A = this chain, B = another copy of it.
C-alpha cells in the first residue's frame, strides 16, 4: 500500500518549493521550464491533489449536497438528473443521501451534509430540518427546499415547488370534461403519519375545481396510504365510502407518483377497468405512462433539478421562491374528453 504523494514530495523531486507546485497546479505565474519540471514530477509520482485539504481553505467543499426522502418516485430521479448535469458543468460532485422517509433520518442527513461543508444543499425534507437549513443559509451555504415553501426565508434560502392548487384544478377540469362526477383521492403520508403539504394542497385545488363545477369532494373521499401495501386498503375505503354516499366512484386521482404502480395494480386486482369503470389520474410523468395510456399531471422535474442546482451555484442573495406550473398529459385513462360541454 504505497503512500500517497503529497505536494511536498512533488516539490522535493522537482527541486522547488511547495508554493511553486501549488502555483503551477492552480495556474499562477511560473516559468515554463520550472512548470515543466513540476509536471514531470507530478506525472512520475502520480500525484493526485487532495480536494479535502483544498476545501478547508475555501471554507467549503465543491460538492453539492442532496437529501431525498425516497428514490422510488419518478419525480426524484429526474430531479437528480437535472442537479447532476448542472453540477457536472460546474466541476461539482453530488453528495447524495436518502432518508427512507423517516423524519429523524432527515435531520441526521442534513447535519451530515453540513459537516461535510457542502457548497450548497438541496433537500426534500420536512419542517424538522428547517432550523438547521436556516442557519446554514445564514452561514453562507445556499439551501434549496424542494416541493415546499418556507415562511420568511433568510438570505440564501430558496424554494422550488409546484403550483399545487393549479395542479389540483387541472385534475378537476379534466375529470369533469371526461364526464366524471364522483372522485376519490389517494394521498401518501410518511412514517410519522404526516401527509406532505404538497399533496393536501393538490387535494384542495381539486376540491375547488370540483366545487366550481358544482361537484363535492367530501373528506371521506380522501384516503391515505403509507406504504405500497397500504394502497389496497385505501382504495377499498374509497370504494366503500362513496358507495355509502350514493353515487358510485367513477374516478380516482393519485396525488403522488410514488404510489402510481401500487394504485394501478390495486385497481386491476379488484377487476376494475380503466377507464370504463373508473377514471385514473396520477401525478408525475414516467417512462411507461404513454404505453399504458395513463393520463398524468406532470411536474417539470428535470428543470426543477437544474434550477435548484443553479441556485446553489449562482448564490443569489435575495431568497428565491420558484413555483412551476403543472401540465396535464392527457391520455386515455380518464376516458373520452367532451370539451365545450360546460
Query: Taking beta carbons and an 8 Å cutoff, which residues of A are in contact with B?
Result: 1-2, 4, 46, 48-53, 55-56, 59, 61, 63, 71, 77, 80-81, 84-85, 88, 91, 93-98, 100, 105, 109, 111-117, 135, 138-140, 261, 264-265, 268, 287-288, 290-292
Contact = CB atoms under 8 A, between A and B. Distances in A.
Interchain residue pairs A-B with the least CB separation, the first 5 = A51-B115, A288-B288, A1-B140, A96-B96, A261-B287
Contact of A96 (B93, B109, B115, B265): B93
Contact of A48 (B81, B84, B97, B115): B115
A302 B117 CA distance: 30
A52 B48 contact: no
19 contacts: A2-B139, A4-B139, A49-B115, A50-B117, A51-B112, A51-B116, A52-B56, A52-B61, A52-B117, A71-B84, A84-B97, A85-B100, A91-B112, A93-B116, A94-B96, A95-B96, A96-B96, A268-B291, A288-B288
Contacts of A51: 112, 115-117
A109 B94 CA distance: 11
Contact of A95 (B81, B94, B261, B292): B94
A48 to B, nearest CB: 5
A139 B96 contact: no
Nearest to A87: B97
Contacts of A264: 291
Contacts of A4: 59, 139
Contacts of A135: 46
Given A50-B117, A56-B53, A71 B61 contact: no
Contacts of A77: 71, 77
A95 B138 CA distance: 25
A60 to B, nearest CB: 8
Contacts of A140: 1
B48 A111 contact: yes
Contacts of A116: 51-52, 63, 93
A98 B83 CA distance: 11
A53 B54 CA distance: 10
A114 B111 CA distance: 24
Nearest to A68: B84
Nearest to A290: B265
A245 B264 CA distance: 42
A256 to B, nearest CB: 14
A64 to B, nearest CB: 10
A5 B51 CA distance: 22
B292 A292 contact: yes
A62 to B, nearest CB: 9
Contact of A81 (B56, B71, B80): B71
A135 B79 CA distance: 34
B292 A265 contact: no
